[in-house]
Structure 1
Amino acid sequence: MSGQDGEEREFDLRWADGAAYKEPSARARMLAARWKENPPGPQPFRAGPDPVGPRRSSWLSTVIVLGTVAVIVVALGWARFRAPY
């Protein structure tokens, strides 16, 4: 690429950036047309999805995990104690 091509490209970018009117994107045009007929309702800031259900306490999960580990340790100890040497 020669130096003159780079200068022409720079000129074109400056010309395009300096345009008085910029066309909206296709998505913006689509939403504007849709909202003209059926405007959206108010939304809270950063609305999340609807809650799925009540969340369990983290303590309940901790008790379940530690209880399971304790049962496994006791079962393995009992099996080793009962195993003939």
Structure 2
Amino acid sequence: MTEQDDWEREFDHRWAESAEHKEPSARARMLAARWKESPPDPAPFRADADPVPRRASWASTAVVVGCVLAVMVLIGFVQFHSSY
């Protein structure tokens, strides 16, 4: 047999998916046993522990406008001095 035949025989996904009984993973079995003894508290899906406070949007706007103005002044200064 070739190496490719061994690979196909070892990783035959169609055969594995057609199995009548599928055993849960080790983690699923562990959690089921743990939760049987002490079930977890209900929690919303992906809830943030502490909401992050939003920064003032005017601060970032002021930084962007200031940078644009500084670049415009620098370009004007360079063009003014290069015309002499």
Query: Taking structure 1 as the reference length, what is the TM-score of the superposition?
Result: 0.53
Over 3 Å counting, the alpha-carbon distance change for 1:50 and 1:81 in structure 2 is: farther
Counterpart secondary structure, 2:76: helix
Q: Give the equivalent residue in structure 1 for 2:36.
A: 36
Q: Which is worse superposed, 55-64 or 69-78?
A: 55-64
Q: Aligned-residue CA RMSD in angstroms?
A: 3.5
CA distance in 1, matches of 2:15, 2:79: 82
CA distance in 2, matches of 1:35, 1:59: 48
Q: What letter matches 2:75 in structure 1?
A: L
Q: What letter matches 1:63 in structure 2?
A: A
Q: Extract structure 1 runs of 4+ deviating beyond 3 A.
A: 10-14, 48-52, 57-60
Give aligned pairs, total: 72
Once the two structures are superposed, what CA deviation does each residue of 1:48-82 show, in whole Å capped at 9, x if it has no partner? 33346312244542332122111221133124424
- What is the correspondence of 1:4-83 to structure 2 with a 5 Å cutoff? 16-17=19-20, 19=21, 22-44=22-44, 46-51=45-50, 53-82=52-81
Structure 1 residue runs of 5 or longer lacking an equivalent are 2-9
CA distance in 1, matches of 2:78, 2:32: 71
Over 3 Å counting, the alpha-carbon distance change for 1:35 and 1:82 in structure 2 is: same
Q: Which is worse superposed, 75-84 or 65-74?
A: 75-84
Identity, % of aligned pairs?
49
